[in-house]
Structure 1
């Protein structure tokens, strides 16, 4: 629930408004998810809360910790038996949570493991928020940055995603700064335009991965419905309203989208936008694609920079634990079929 809705419900039960703050402090700060353990509430109040509310935190089915960089991959089971993934990433001085918005994904990008497991349903706002609480409870880390870049396409679950963001940035709950929230999308133009109306001022990352519609059609089927130019136009609108730098995600695939002309076309497409390009060598675990040679990756970056586009190469964190989205869920599903 949003803070306002929770206060309303608490008062309808005859409790004082400040009791809502006490309860949320237990949940979001102390990570106590059982009403009986909220000791500054009377037994009568705790019984009343138990009768009217439930706090559902996903169950950890599998947890893998990288020996390289401590990246932690979680596979969670929801009350209906479905599974989702979250990732805890460590940076110098802070931790980031990468969270899911759907069970599976309907977009089915050819290089992504999540899409290969099929689409089941959207997560509700509580299921999205609870991933943060579950990670913090298990890891004893305070999450400072949140990335909506796990399983699923966030803009195809728009209402629940926006509600979850508003819950997480509320000072009474997690109090995450909105500029520490990133939403990653494959690019749904009308929903990007709708997002710009929210005036949330969050970071927007667009998974472009190609500089021509012909190539993008081959790896991102939804591009046949939404062209690159439509996505770029929507991104320009978002930037004009938010004045935020955009992130462009570009997966580099050997002898497909890693040629010099691809880099030059990409630079031309992004001309006039304030952008940062994340160049990501493809993860070949669940696809037939291969990473380009290191010299070719560096050359791609150099062409962009020489064209006035800020770019960096992002190598996968947690490579030894298959931290990319969808891989643990696929393995879990396959194991159940054996």
Structure 2
């Protein structure tokens, strides 16, 4: 279960405190001119130590391509890549070797495998998402050829919420601040909320909103691989994610059908919808409107304060974890959400080519 996708496929490998993280991308068409700087840019948006509100683990996260790329172009063959770990502090986890940390994967991994890598969570660590970001950055470059762009941003941290629809925001301002919120005033409040959690040696969760523009009508499948279902599957596979909604989402349940229906209209750009409560997807297939969705992230489970738990022998104990951890995952998760969305759209783009002669 380490492979994602049907045609454009990523298989990832590696652990948080192992030698490195990497992946193999299969199904990427030949002849795509890769901009390595853009791939590295997305990795830098995800890497630790980038600001005062993220973990201070220092990793350059420099990608090294091992196969599938020649003279800057994809060859249609498997693309193998690796990112080597440089700044592991594995000793920080020695006291947790036999401990089941609250809300972590320690207990469930032990129940499933009978063994686990306690250093930084091993395979369950969010550091695995590096491979997704690399693959997603390549998928983004392929999607640009199809006129598709993807932009995610932080829309809520704890109780601090950006109460504006994305259509009223300048999404190009997302990278103007360390929390990756396109509204400067709200961003300051979000940063203050994260700093308050960090000062209290606690953590805070929130929501990331993602918008995909330029997806043409006709991508997706009508039954088991509905476009929104695949997006939900992708997002719920990201560490710390607890919820996914697209279009009007749960708020849409408060409306009547006559209020919620997206009426079709004829425009100089062809058939469009007057509103977009459907979130750009109807019957599991894109309708040509913007696709937008929200992803809910829980507060990170690792707290640098005293907690009660049990060890593998069922002894009740108290722990105070050490290490370098994010007080809030959201700023670094923005490129991960974009990457997983790109993988889904790349797959459905290629699948759409199979549905017609």
Pairwise TM-score range, normalised by the shorter structure? under 0.3
Higher relative contact order (CA closer than 8 Å, sequence separation 6+) = 2
> Whose helix proportion is higher, 1 or 2?
1
Higher strand proportion: 2
* TM-score under structure 1 length normalisation: 0.27
Please report the TM-score for the alignment, with normalisation by the length of structure 2. 0.26
